[in-house]
Amino acid sequence: MSRDRVDAPIMTLNGVGVSYWRRRGRFAKERFWALKQIDLNIFPGETVGIIGKNGAGKSTLLRLLAGIIDPDRGLVTRRCRRMSLLALQAGFNPHLSGRDNILLNGMLLGRRRQEILARMQEIIDFAELSAVIDAPLHSYSTGMRARLGFSVALHSEPDVMLLDEVMGVGDAAFKQKSIMAMKAKIRSLQTVVIVSHHPQTILTLCDRAVWIDAGGTRATGCPQTVIDRYKEHLWPSNNT
Amino acid sequence: MPMLPTRARMAQLMELIIVRTLAEFKAEAGRYYASFFWWVIEPIIYMGAFYLIFGIVFQRGGNDYVPFLLTGLVVWKWFASTVLQGAGAIVMHAGLIKLIYVPKAVFPGTVILANALRFAIVFCLLALLLPAMGLWPTRSWLALPVVVGIQFLFGAGCTLVLAALVPFLPDLKLLLEKLLMLMFFLSGIFFKVSDIPPNWQAFFLLNPMASLIDSYRRILLHHQWPSWPSCWRVLLLSVALMAAGQWLLRRFDRLYPKVIGA
């Protein structure tokens, strides 16, 4: 699956750090670095898997890549417009119809109104909701909402798609369908960054893996090599 | 959106504000039986209360007290609702801005647009009602778009600045509620500027809302032109506030997700 990387990176992170201020008492504050030193290149069309323990800084890294926050030190260079975290159902309004929610959610994910209207039917069909699409969202079941959110996100096609785990939604049949669709997207020319806890996800889907530990990049490269080092770090005794 | 040229980014921002505003109206209509009528009913209830106290109990209103009160209350309602809702607009969407990058001006922008449209409808009703009370349109009504425009900019300027600051200073929202209450009493909504001692009048009209309400009344009730110098003063202040608000929102655009609800 590896591709020749003749292109320049679509996004580059150079010695990037992100800090938060934590409150200590009423007035005192304490600075805490969620990301300390991250170096990362993302090339067009590739799928990068990010692995690491809880608290390693994966969520902060996703937010940084999505352009939600800025780094406090280091440099982020972007050569693309839309990098979205596939936040399912973000901005959904229960008092509006499914159709209106597709429009709002799609626009929040960075699409223009016309682009969404052009793909409206496709989005409705994928979610299998044509019968109820003009009913208000509060009349939908949880599964129906999840299907709608997934379908909009899948069709929003950002330049770089950021995923927090590859998850299916809905009942067993739709879960299968949504995972297949997501995997098809990942294997296409879409540039994808996946954050996952599961070594297997990274091994099967990614061209390259990055191991994040304690706010820094610990290893980068071929998924098998990186995952092996990660596992050895987690369970050192198993390999001896 | 971050790498788009400015014009395309502005177009996308405006489109999002318009679509969100229309969606809000739709949601409101589906949610409350009398959704829009609350906007008409509220100034009328207030008017009834003030008419009872000042017009009947204290016998101070004079002939045109009903249109006088209505003008002040409708105009005030527009300003106060915009500023109060707008101040909390970014904080209210804490969950959303932590998940997706959205230019933060979208949130106060939606409040500003939605309230301007609501005001437009209520104001048209008022304009239809005035002739029924013997106040027919005259040439001075030509100045109305200017005064409405200035008030729009003033409300928008205050809203942008407050929306930009409240995420850092949550107490500001509480302070604002008290300030609005104070301003309500100091903006001449239920009393005339001419009732104030003469040497205090100029001071009183430094309050932009007092001077705007006075302008509306000159036009609608007294068939006069507004006091242009005070209009331009408010306009200048509004433009400065809008520039400051936009600058702040852009400056802290990617900082808000870190400071809100931490």
Q: DSSP readout, B107-145?
A: HHHHHHHHHHHHHHHHHHHHHHHHHHTT----GGGGGHH
- A72-86 pLDDT, tens per residue? 999 999 887 777 777
Q: How far is B252 from chain A (nearest CA, A)?
A: 10
Helices (H), chain A: 58-65, 98-108, 113-127, 142-156, 172-187, 199-205, 223-234
Check: complex ipTM more than 0.90 = no
Q: Residue holding tokens 């091994």?
A: A203
CATH of A11-81+193-239, one of 3.30.420.480, 2.40.70.10, 3.40.50.300, 1.10.1380.10: 3.40.50.300
Q: Would you say residue B43 lies in a domain?
A: yes
**Pairwise CB contact (< 8 Å): B96 & A91:** yes
Q: How far is A138 from chain B (nearest CA, A)?
A: 11
Two tokens at B237? 């202040």
Percent of chain B with pLDDT over 70: 95
d(CA B59, CA B57): 6
pTM for the structure as a whole: 0.89
Out of B2, B16, B23, the one facing A100 most closely (by C-beta) is B23
Provide mean pLDDT across the span B244-256. 95
Two tokens at A75? 């440099």
- Give A186's contacts (C-beta < 8 A, 6+ positions apart): A47, A166, A192, A194, A205
Confidence at residue B4, expressed as pLDDT on a 0 to 100 scale? 59
Report whether pLDDT(B1) > 50.
Answer: no
Report whether pLDDT(B179) > 60.
Answer: yes
3-state secondary structure of A219: strand
Q: Does B1 reach chain A within 8 Å, measured CB to CB?
A: yes
Q: Residue holding tokens 């407050």?
A: B162
> Which chain A residues are closer than 8 Å to B12 by Cβ?
112
Confidence at residue B65, expressed as pLDDT on a 0 to 100 scale? 82
Report whether pLDDT(B223) > 80.
Answer: yes
Question: Would you state the torsion angle of the CA atoms of residues A127, A131, A137, A141, taken in this order, to the nearest 10 degrees?
Answer: -70
Q: Would you say residue B38 lies in a domain?
A: yes
Q: Would you say residue B35 lies in a domain?
A: yes
The per-residue pLDDT of chain B, averaged, comes to 89
3-state secondary structure of B85: helix
- The secondary element (H helix, E strand) that includes residue B12 is helix B6-31
Structurally, chain B folds into a number of domains equal to 1
- B109-150 pLDDT, tens per residue? 999 999 999 899 888 888 888 888 888 888 889 999 999 999
Every domain of chain A and the residues it spans: 11-81+193-239, 85-158
Report whether pLDDT(B250) > 80.
Answer: yes
Closest chain B residue by Cα to residue A77: B3
Helices (H), B88-105: 89-92, 94-99
Residues of chain A with pLDDT under 50: 1-3, 240
**Pairwise CB contact (< 8 Å): B27 & A93:** yes
Identify from A70, A108, A114, A164 which residue to disrupt to test chain B contact, counting B C-beta atoms within 10 A and taking the largest count. A108
Confidence at residue B5, expressed as pLDDT on a 0 to 100 scale? 66
Radius of gyration of chain A (CA): 19
d(CA A88, CA B17): 21
Q: Would you say residue B1 lies in a domain?
A: no
Confidence at residue A224, expressed as pLDDT on a 0 to 100 scale? 93
- B38-95 pLDDT, tens per residue? 777 877 787 788 778 777 777 776 778 888 888 998 899 999 999 999 999 999 999 8
Confidence at residue A2, expressed as pLDDT on a 0 to 100 scale? 47
Q: State which residues form the domain around B21.
A: 6-259
Confidence at residue A1, expressed as pLDDT on a 0 to 100 scale? 43
